[in-house]
Amino acid sequence: MPTTTWTYDAPDGVFKNHNLSTQLLEHAAQKWVFVGFTKEVPGGSQKKKGESITIPHYKSLDIPNSGVLEETGRIPIDKLELGTRQIVLSEFGRGVQYTHLMEELSVFDPKSGAQKVLDRQMGGSMDRAAAAAFKQAKVCFIPTSLSGGVWDTDGVASTTALQNMTKAHMGIIRDYMMNDLHVPPYEGNHFVGLFATKALRGLKDDNAIEAWHQYLQKGDLIFNSEIGQVEGIRLSEVNHEAALSNGVGSGACLGEGVVFGDEAVSRAEVETPHLRADPNYQGDFGRIKAVVWYGIVAYGITWDTANDLEAKVVYVTSQ
């Protein structure tokens, strides 16, 4: 890990000159939204339960052509089948170091600053991992015209997107989830859509988005970064390009997104990601210190299938 140089503060001027603003200018914090839509695996902490987590679920039963019984006939019996999905736990973490000299000479508190930037980094890293799980969806939609698109159900987009998102596309996705996949809504009668800024710009330009205050009732919760709804899909903006690309397809015309209902992505935790401080990092009598974030977690799509009554996520993307 590189050490901090104290000759200058950025970009010029010696650090010992304290004729500086009392507030540090910070980059606008990116908004992390994916983790909040994951569902913790039942059973609490996964400590001492092995390196992988098995998520069981009962497979749906076929709907009979008729449920009418004959007076002297026996009740038909279907077989109850159990499906499973495994997700593997991993360690996550990163840290920064600073010196005792920095603490003594700087007008700013390096420990506090390190904690602040690490907290943002931790949130971004976790959201990226959760986003990757959502994008494991087997069902992909690729917009190819203003009012149509192509479906892929093997988890790999094999067509190039030619168009950004429109209201018509949202209607196609919503109807496919309702009528073909029979996805249960995420909350109430709504699905959730997490989209890159560019995709939402397409919907805004199409005058398609209904403001959240028009459909939420008093006491309803507003999702993080929620901007409105289209076709019964509540939309949140993702400005983290490592999670969702802001430009895929022909001429980078499309912003990526995911639309999902209940049971979309599962989360398992042994240690919830958190900050740790080491006041004597690398020894030397406390002259070098470090702050890190660390956690043991796993994210995985709950139903790794494109089957009716099982698939819960649609991934909007391009080849």
- CATH number of the domain to which 242 belongs: 3.30.2320
110 occurs within a structural domain: no
Over residues 147-164, mean pLDDT: 97
**CA distances (Å), 240 to each of 6, 50, 93, 121, 194, in order?**
32, 32, 19, 12, 11
Taking the C-alpha atoms of residue 208 and residue 167, their distance in angstroms, rounded to an integer, is 6
239 occurs within a structural domain: yes
Under 8 Å between Cβ of 229 and 190 = yes
User: What value does the mean pLDDT of the chain take?
Assistant: 85
pLDDT at 172 over 80: yes
188 contacts: CB under 8 Å, gap ≥ 6:
none
- pLDDT at position 81 is 84
Over residues 23-40, mean pLDDT: 64
- pLDDT at position 110 is 74
Over residues 134-155, mean pLDDT: 98
151 occurs within a structural domain: yes
Under 8 Å between Cβ of 236 and 194 = yes
160 occurs within a structural domain: yes
Q: Which domain range does residue 186 map to?
A: 137-264+303-316
Write out the DSSP string of 126-183: HHHHHHHHHTT-SEEEEE-SSS-EEEE-SS---S---S---HHHHHHHHHIIIIIS-P
| CB-facing half-sphere around the CA of 85: CA atoms within 13 A | 24
Identify the band that residue 44 occupies on the pLDDT scale cut at 50, 70 and 90.
low
pLDDT at 14 over 70: no
Q: Find the angle CA(174)-CA(178)-CA(180) to the nearest 5 degrees.
A: 105
Of the listed ranges 14-23, 156-165, 222-231, the least confidently predicted one is 14-23
164 occurs within a structural domain: yes
223 occurs within a structural domain: yes
15 occurs within a structural domain: no
Q: Which of 212, 210, 211, 204 is nearest to 165 (CA)?
A: 204
**CA distances (Å), 274 to each of 124, 269, 293, 300, in order?**
13, 12, 5, 21
Structurally, the chain folds into a number of domains equal to: 1
pLDDT at 134 over 60: yes
Identify the band that residue 34 occupies on the pLDDT scale cut at 50, 70 and 90.
very high
Strand ranges (E), 15-147: 39-40, 52-58, 82-88, 90-99, 139-143
156 occurs within a structural domain: yes
Q: Find the angle CA(23)-CA(28)-CA(34) to the nearest 5 degrees.
A: 135
Over residues 109-122, mean pLDDT: 82
Q: Is 314 in a helix, a strand, or coil?
A: strand
Percentage with pLDDT > 70 across the chain:
87
Of the listed ranges 18-22, 68-72, 311-315, the least confidently predicted one is 18-22
Q: Which of 285, 283, 276, 201 is nearest to 235 (CA)?
A: 201
- pLDDT at position 251 is 97
